[in-house]
Amino acid sequence: MDNSNLLVGLDIGTTRIKAVVADTGAQGMQVIGAVSEPTNGMRHGKIVDIDQTAASISRTLKNLSQKTNSKIYRVVTGIPIGLLQLQTASAQINISDQGREINDQDVKKVLAKAINDSLQEGKAAITYLPSRFLIDGKTDVHDPRNMLAHSLQVSGILLTVPANDLHNIRKAIERAGYQNNFFVPAPLAIARVALQEAEATFGAIILDLGGGTSTATVIRDNKITYARIDAEGGENITHDISVALNTSKKDAEQVKLDFGFAEPTLTSEDDKFPISVVGESEPQLIDEHYLSEIINARLQQIFSRIGKVLSKNNSFQVPGGIVVTGGASNLQGIADLINNDYGVKVRIYQPDQMGLHNAMFAAAYGIVSYAYELADIDYLVNSVIYGPVETEPVTDSGGNLKFFKRHSRDDEIDREEDYNKQEVASPEETAHRVQHQADQHKKGVRDFFKKFFD
């Protein structure tokens, strides 16, 4: 396999790590594999043991590499919403008193000034989302390059993360034996693939039911208007089952996956399954209705807390209703339960790519899609945040820019390792390899972000 076109999205969840690899060759982005493995060393979306998390990352990516017969050295990693902070950031620079064409270095200079001037102590930049560039203080453009100007101004949104938390994530990836290209805001990655255009425009709620946390993100008028994070998720449901049925957490998780219903009215006491019980020599029969009542009780608590805030903000009035994703959304009857609780229409999202028919892969798939559709300006943003890189443009037969690829070294004879050969390479190199379709520039990720954070 030609690994030079690979993109790997890494979603480090509290209970499971998900990874998706896609080939971005001539036929466009095609997912070729996905893996999910249990996570150790995480609590409520944060790393509490770097070595344990590193071992989990290593196990996941090695499994993915074997499954897809590919060599993986670098990844693109999602950052959960619980760590993200947003702030406005703007700057202005002089181009020339006489006026001249704006080049890449000018754009990078104004971006760097906006980022550095706004970055708070103890924070680390993840990405910057330009909402507009102003030429000479009056001409509003998406991309100022090659335009004549005396001055250049940029305004946008800076996304940051506590520096300590980012250090832990990066260190865990490195100890696992991999390099991170750049970081992606996970909620925006999910929204990128889970929301339809009309839902993002007229309003919708993304309800991400993860293992360690549950998150409701309200999108209305093309903006993120509210985000509610609840510190309970699928892991708490598993714990409840373990305690109520006096069984191990491993067995509790398995019966949840195999027989779990979110809505008790969809079950019957006559449908029973065996489960190992501590202190008993033989498995005991448990009916699905009782199991569903255990599950439902925890879900009702989570939805009640989230619902109170959403109701207070009139969020349930959005016409797009609720789009549900995350591992816990696989529980049978979850859409019915949410509909009954909130009285709005509900849609379960799961990626439709081959091998991804599970809602828990939404973030990892979104991360890959995010990277694949980076616009030229996003490349420059990444080069400012994550460092410079020597690259060469790759175009299709019509001369259209597809993606950027670093120059091969003389000793890189094996082309299959071209994608990741330099383990000490700059973090954004893979982003320079992904396809960019210039004629869809205004529909790229930069403008998608602008809708949410303008």
| Residue-level pLDDT at 439 | 39
Residue 394: the pLDDT is 41
| 348 vs 400, residue with greater confidence | 348
Answer yes or no: is pLDDT of 31 > 50: yes
- DSSP H helical segments within 260-395, as ranges? 288-312, 334-342, 362-372, 376-386
The highest-level CATH class for domain 83-163 is alpha beta
- Helix, strand, coil percentages (3-state) for the chain, rounded to 5, are 40, 30, 30
Between 394 and 306, whose confidence is greater?
306
Q: Which two tokens stand for residue 390?
A: 């020597």
pLDDT for the residue 192: 85
Q: What's the confidence (pLDDT) of residue 219?
A: 77
Ranges 58-67, 371-380, 381-390, 422-431, most confident: 58-67
Give residue 432's pLDDT band: very low, low, confident or very high (50, 70, 90).
very low
Averaged confidence pLDDT in the chain: 84
367: Cβ contacts below 8 Å, ≥ 6 apart: 9, 10, 11, 20, 76, 77, 78, 184, 186, 189
Distance set, CA 127 to CA 84, 134, 208, 384 (Å): 11, 20, 22, 10
User: In terms of DSSP bridges, do strands 100-101 and 46-47 run parallel, antiparallel, or are they unpaired?
Assistant: unpaired
Residue 86 has pLDDT above 60, yes or no: yes
Q: Are 56 and 40 in contact (CB under 8 A)?
A: yes
Give the Cβ contact number of residue 113 at 10 Å: 17
Polymer length in residues for the chain: 454
Q: What is the model's pLDDT at position 403?
A: 40
State the Cα–Cα distance between residues 310 and 375, nearest whole angstrom.
34
423 pLDDT above the threshold of 60: no
**Higher-pLDDT residue of 356, 402:** 356
Q: What is the dihedral of CA 210, 211, 215, 216, to 10 degrees?
A: 50
DSSP 218: E
- pLDDT for 1 equals 53
Please give the pLDDT value at position 390: 39
Instruction: Report d(CA 93, CA 73) in Å as an integer.
Output: 38
Whether residue 435 is predicted with pLDDT greater than 60 in this model: the reply is: no
Q: Where in the chain are the domains?
A: 3-81+164-188+363-453, 83-163
pLDDT in tens, 121-143: 999 999 998 989 999 998 899 99
* 214-256 per-position pLDDT tens digit: 999 887 765 667 788 899 999 999 999 999 999 999 999 999 9
Are 395 and 386 contacting, i.e. CB atoms less than 8 angstroms apart?
Answer: no
Residue 407, pLDDT > 80, answer no
Residues 289-314 have a mean pLDDT of 94
Other Cβ atoms less than 10 A from the Cβ of 260: the count is: 27
Spatial contact of 273 and 255, defined as CB atoms under 8 Å apart? yes
Interval 157-198: pLDDT, tens: 899 999 999 999 999 999 999 999 999 988 888 888 999 888
Q: In angstroms, rounded to a whole number, what is the distance separating the alpha carbons of residues 396 and 247?
A: 57
> Is pLDDT of 331 > 80?
yes
In this structure, what token pair is assigned to residue 72?
């993986």
The SS3 of residue 143 is coil
Closest by CA position to 21, among listed 452, 437, 354, 401: 354
Query: Angle at Cα 224 formed by Cα 192 and Cα 360, nearest 5°?
Result: 40
Instruction: Supply the DSSP string of 31-42, one letter for each residue.
Output: EEEEEEEE--SE
The Cβ-side half-sphere exposure at 326, using a 13 Å CA radius, reads 28
In whole angstroms, what separates CA 46 from the centre of its chain? 15
Residue 454 pLDDT level (bands cut at 50, 70, 90): very low
Question: For residues 111 and 381, is the Cβ–Cβ distance under 8 A?
Answer: yes
What is the share, in percent, of the chain residues with pLDDT greater than 90?
Answer: 63
CB atoms within 10 A of CB 328: 30
Residue 344 has pLDDT above 80, yes or no: yes
What's the pLDDT at 350?
Answer: 87
Looking at the DSSP bridge assignments, the partners of residue 23 are 6, 30
Percent of the chain topping pLDDT 70: 83
Question: Does 3.30.420.40 match the CATH number of domain 3-81+164-188+363-453?
Answer: yes
